[in-house]
A and B are shown apart, each in its own frame.
Chain A
């Protein structure tokens, strides 16, 4: 298979975690592009960027447990003409080294690609110190930054390939690597900034990113079969630049939108969608599913998705609740103030 002149393998996600897939994809890209270097901060194994390091030890830098230096060194390598891929946990990329990412990388428009693993609540048992439900809010507020939140391992592979020749800094947010897949392979239209319609529908729209895409699709399929409800599901894998046209089309066609993300409801996908809806000037119901401005409890990740109503059942419940609500015409609200 060939995309933009590159030859690559389709990896078997049944036997490989999403993180492992991206590690292999990066190693493959490294074969073809000598300017790719990779860096981590003592998380070569956990993030799987070590796959690149095994193949190209001379182009791989493990700087130890020192994330500020990690991103500064990556900036320096980019200034010297390389394309650094940096991988660490999301909480360390977005928060511990947030200023380095902003000032060294975004401000200077450097070609650094960040693969942030263990984002959201994907590392459930580790607790809040290792969760990261703030990174989308932080990263999308950095000028010059592109922010991706792939739905699964196949999409992560596509995102890694796409970001290579996408100019400037890119933040790719993935999970711990144990997530189920929603796609059956890598062969679908993936373009940075373009939402993917995962399920057609005109009754209501669910806009999701990351693992919530699978849960939204499951909810849509079940509701179609059991109740004949047509749910549109958009995989908003690019949080910035946001696919405004897809959101406004959903507003026009369904007037009811639910967002779902493993992130605080403040500042992430839901907020980004709300901004587009509000500026669009058309009335539309909106419900943001996510962490309700709280740090998540400790728990098995699947349990946490259930507790915070981000799994199939939670999304289904939100859909049914919203379908029972009217979208009020604009001239009917003055008496309610």
Chain B
């Protein structure tokens, strides 16, 4: 059932809150992968606040839906959502990147409740998601695996090994997202190493492919529901996003792949986010 306007409004309010929390966490961390953390926000929010069958009080519940953030450097944008959903106290975010903290740039499954797989090195998450989805099929379990892949990450050959494998095993219990923000560290993905036609690539690998606005909750909801209805093959949702979304001086800027915020920049960033959401 498509998301109701009221639900979309609530998710939008949540996205405003989470963007604030991400900026805060970047400050506490002394810097972070802020660009990608902000581009993936709506994908993670629609999953964690609407579609996932999870119980944050039981992070190891065996019938939970699984999420793998294959673009593991998005951890600084993922941990605030896990904290907000109650997997661990919000206070812990203040330790992000600190010596001895459970939270580093790339989240460790064994230290951060709610994380289903440790990721960070690119091209590793999707193969693990394929293994999980195969496992669910083998156990005849209904849980679903979601995997968020970076577009720069899609330069990795192992992504395409896994793509072939997921289609071969007809893993319709696996749904992927490409956070298509069009930037990798060194610049435009199409200039560094062209990915287009990306939709055609996934389709030719045997996936059902949808292309949407990755910041639009309505489109995200419809795509996820369509993925869940699709039998016999995995679905890849190419979510067109903006790197640094919500912070005007970061949007579309490759230089903000990773960055720190002094108090002026922090203030500017929060004001920019407020403007977008019509908050003063």
**Which A residues fall within an 8 A CB radius of B?**
37, 58-59, 61, 63-64, 66, 68-69, 71-82, 84, 99-100, 103-104, 107-109
| CB < 8 Å neighbour of B124 from A59, A63, A64, A104 | A104
Q: Is B44 an interface residue (CB 8 A)?
A: no
Please name all residues of chain B whose beta carbon is closer than 8 Å to the beta carbon of A104 when the two chains form the complex.
117-118, 124, 127-128
How far in angstroms is the closest Cβ of chain A from B242?
Answer: 29
Q: Which of B92-134 contact A (CB under 8 A)?
A: 108-110, 116-118, 120-121, 123-124, 126-134
How far in angstroms is the closest Cβ of chain B from A314?
Answer: 41
Q: Is B4 an interface residue (CB 8 A)?
A: no
Please name all residues of chain A whose beta carbon is closer than 8 Å to the beta carbon of B128 when the two chains form the complex.
72-73, 75-76, 79, 104
How far in angstroms is the closest Cβ of chain B from A68?
Answer: 4
Question: Is there contact, CB below 8 Å, between A64 and B164?
Answer: yes
Q: How far is the CA of A71 from the CA of B120 in the complex (A)?
A: 16
25 interchain pairs (CB within 8 A)? A59-B138, A61-B169, A64-B165, A68-B123, A72-B124, A72-B127, A73-B127, A75-B117, A75-B131, A76-B128, A76-B135, A77-B135, A79-B128, A81-B135, A81-B139, A82-B135, A84-B131, A99-B124, A100-B158, A103-B118, A104-B117, A104-B118, A104-B127, A108-B109, A109-B110
Question: Is there contact, CB below 8 Å, between A82 and B138?
Answer: yes
Given A63-B165, A100-B124, A107-B118; A69-B135 close (CB under 8 Å)? no
Q: How far is the CA of A69 from the CA of B66 in the complex (A)?
A: 19
Given A103-B118, A103-B121, A109-B110; A68-B127 close (CB under 8 Å)? yes
Please name all residues of chain A whose beta carbon is closer than 8 Å to the beta carbon of B109 when the two chains form the complex.
108
Q: How far is the CA of A109 from the CA of B124 in the complex (A)?
A: 16
| CB < 8 Å neighbour of B132 from A61, A68, A71, A80 | A80
Question: Is there contact, CB below 8 Å, between A99 and B121?
Answer: yes
Q: How far is the CA of A63 from the CA of B161 in the complex (A)?
A: 9
Q: Is B157 an interface residue (CB 8 A)?
A: yes
Please name all residues of chain B whose beta carbon is closer than 8 Å to the beta carbon of A37 when the two chains form the complex.
138
Question: Is there contact, CB below 8 Å, between A100 and B127?
Answer: yes
| CB < 8 Å neighbour of B131 from A64, A79, A103 | A79
Q: Is B162 an interface residue (CB 8 A)?
A: yes
Given A69-B127, A72-B124; A77-B162 close (CB under 8 Å)? no
Q: Is B62 an interface residue (CB 8 A)?
A: yes
Q: How far is the CA of A68 from the CA of B160 in the complex (A)?
A: 10
Residue of A nearest to B145 (CB): A76
How far in angstroms is the closest Cβ of chain B from A160?
Answer: 21
Question: Is there contact, CB below 8 Å, between B161 and A69?
Answer: yes
Q: Is B90 an interface residue (CB 8 A)?
A: no
Q: How far is the CA of A73 from the CA of B131 in the complex (A)?
A: 4
Question: Is there contact, CB below 8 Å, between B161 and A76?
Answer: no
Question: Is there contact, CB below 8 Å, between B121 and A76?
Answer: no
Could you say which of B108, B123, B124, B129 has the most chain A C-beta atoms within 10 Å of its C-beta? B124
Question: Is there contact, CB below 8 Å, between B130 and A80?
Answer: no
Residue of A nearest to B163 (CB): A69
Q: Is B270 an interface residue (CB 8 A)?
A: no
Please name all residues of chain A whose beta carbon is closer than 8 Å to the beta carbon of B116 when the two chains form the complex.
79
Question: Is there contact, CB below 8 Å, between A108 and B110?
Answer: yes
Q: Is B136 an interface residue (CB 8 A)?
A: yes
| CB < 8 Å neighbour of B118 from A77, A99, A100, A108 | A108
Residue of B nearest to A75 (CB): B128
Could you say which of B62, B128, B131, B168 has the most chain A C-beta atoms within 10 Å of its C-beta? B131
Given A68-B157, A76-B127; A61-B117 close (CB under 8 Å)? no
Additional A-B contacts beyond A69-B158, A76-B135 (8; CB < 8 A): A59-B138, A68-B127, A68-B158, A69-B127, A76-B127, A76-B131, A76-B133, A104-B127
Please name all residues of chain A whose beta carbon is closer than 8 Å to the beta carbon of B134 when the two chains form the complex.
61, 73, 76-77, 80
Please name all residues of chain B whose beta carbon is closer than 8 Å to the beta carbon of A73 when the two chains form the complex.
127-128, 130-131, 134, 162, 165
Q: How far is the CA of A103 from the CA of B108 in the complex (A)?
A: 11
How far in angstroms is the closest Cβ of chain B from A272?
Answer: 27
Question: Is there contact, CB below 8 Å, between B131 and A66?
Answer: no
Residue of B nearest to A103 (CB): B121
How far in angstroms is the closest Cβ of chain A from B245?
Answer: 29
Contact with A along B140-172 (1 / 0, CB 8 A): 000000000000000001100110110011000
Q: How far is the CA of A99 from the CA of B123 in the complex (A)?
A: 11
| CB < 8 Å neighbour of B161 from A68, A75, A77, A107 | A68
Q: How far is the CA of A80 from the CA of B116 in the complex (A)?
A: 10
Q: How far is the CA of A107 from the CA of B72 in the complex (A)?
A: 14
Please name all residues of chain B whose beta carbon is closer than 8 Å to the beta carbon of A78 when the two chains form the complex.
131
Residue of B nearest to A82 (CB): B135
Please name all residues of chain A whose beta carbon is closer than 8 Å to the beta carbon of B110 when the two chains form the complex.
108-109
Question: Is there contact, CB below 8 Å, between B136 and A69?
Answer: no
How far in angstroms is the closest Cβ of chain A from B125?
Answer: 8
Question: Is there contact, CB below 8 Å, between A69 and B138?
Answer: no
How far in angstroms is the closest Cβ of chain A from B68?
Answer: 8
| CB < 8 Å neighbour of B162 from A59, A69, A109 | A69
How far in angstroms is the closest Cβ of chain B from A77?
Answer: 4
How far in angstroms is the closest Cβ of chain A from B162?
Answer: 5
Q: How far is the CA of A103 from the CA of B132 in the complex (A)?
A: 16
Please name all residues of chain B whose beta carbon is closer than 8 Å to the beta carbon of A61 when the two chains form the complex.
134, 169
Residue of B nearest to A58 (CB): B138
Q: How far is the CA of A100 from the CA of B117 in the complex (A)?
A: 13
How far in angstroms is the closest Cβ of chain A from B10?
Answer: 32
